[in-house]
Amino acid sequence: MDPRTLETLRAVGSQGGVTAAAAVLHLTPSAVSQQVAQLQHEVGVPLTERVGRGLRLTPAGEALAEAAVDVAVALERARAACDEFLERPQGVVRVSAFQSGAQLLLPALLSRVAAIDGITLECSDEDVAQDDFVALTDRMDVVVAHRPDDGPGWAGGRAVRVVPLLREPLDLAVPLDHPLAQRTEVRPDDLRDLPWVAVREGFPVATVLGAVGARSGSAPRIVHRINDFHVVEALVEAGHGVSLLPRYTFGGGARVRLVPLAGVRAGRRIDALLRRDRAERLVVRRVLDELRALAADIGSA
């Protein structure tokens, strides 16, 4: 019962299959399968059960996978205990963020961390569906994710730590020459019959537009579904519709006008997601501190 094997089981559970787990662990499916089989033999209770052509964890498997994170946490804590005796934290930290979050946070984060000697940041942007953010924590140390203000929290339970970074309002984006462009705020009533550019179903903040529509009394008329906010911005600029855009990230530009919404709560929460064991690493904690400080700066500016 070594932690590697336990971690493999955990990955099979969280990734939902042998092949997917093998991918994040940089192993062949065969190796993963063998590890699970060996673990199963060791404990004497079935840990997985076939469902269709894939498989999922049994209750016993879930229990063991949950215990596995505690093992991983204990191990990382052991490493950190030694790092305390090293004068400077050292190592590489992998950070991912959704695009607009990356644009908002990563440049400043890199600058801040560059000042700390010994820490290497590996950044990447990841555009995934709302439900897939947690799964990223298997490949990344810190996952910057966003979700609707009022939506449900993150799945993943005890295994993943959620660190709130920022709340960012979503404003109405209109062309510069739009009738609403000169307003200091708009109310739900003003939004009737506007042509909307929305994000794809299932993607973050997709539900916000629905909530706004509900307040205005009629379902919003969605004419385009675009995930990349820059493309959205270009479409809005060209008069192909209006949209909701995050204030801090797009408020500075001159291509479209952002008008605050009143009478309805529209915003997104930006959180950092980490696996509990990764959160124990000294360097990760250090980077996370910078990220939080950075977010606090933005939020209070």
- Quote the least distance from Cβ 275 to DNA, whole Å: 19
The pairing of beta strand 142-148 with beta strand 242-246 = unpaired
What residues contact 38, with CB distance under 8 A and at least 6 apart? 5
Beta-carbon contacts of 149 under 8 Å, excluding residues fewer than 6 positions away, are 167, 208, 265, 266, 267, 268, 269
**Residue with token string 């955990």:** 10
Q: Is 49 in the site for its own copies (CB under 8 A)?
A: no
Q: Which of 52, 152, 153, 252 binds DNA (CB under 7 A)?
A: 52
Under the criterion CB under 8 A, does residue 6 sit at the interface with its own copies?
yes
70 contacts its own copies (rule: CB under 8 A) = yes
In the complex, least distance from residue 112 CB atom to DNA, rounded to whole angstroms: 36
CB 263 within 8 Å of CB 187: yes
Q: How many residues bind its own copies (CB under 8 A)?
A: 28
Q: Is 64 in the site for DNA (CB under 7 A)?
A: no
Element housing 138 (H / E): none
Residue 82 engages its own copies in binding (rule: CB under 8 A)? yes
Contacts of residue 226, defined as CB under 8 A and 6 or more positions apart, other chains included, come to 197, 198, 199, 200, 232, 235
Nearest approach in angstroms of CB 54 to DNA is 4
Query: Interface with DNA includes 20 (CB under 7 A)?
Result: yes
Closest distance to DNA from the beta carbon of 202 (Å): 18
d(CA 34, CA 286): 37
Q: Which does 27 bind (CB under 5 to 8 A by kind): DNA, its own copies, none?
A: DNA
Say if strands 257-259 and 160-174 run parallel, antiparallel, or are unpaired: antiparallel
- Sites of contact with DNA (CB under 7 A): 2, 4, 17-20, 26-31, 33-38, 48, 50, 52-55
Binding region for its own copies (CB under 8 A): 1-3, 6, 43-45, 59-60, 63-64, 66-68, 70-71, 73-75, 77-79, 81-86
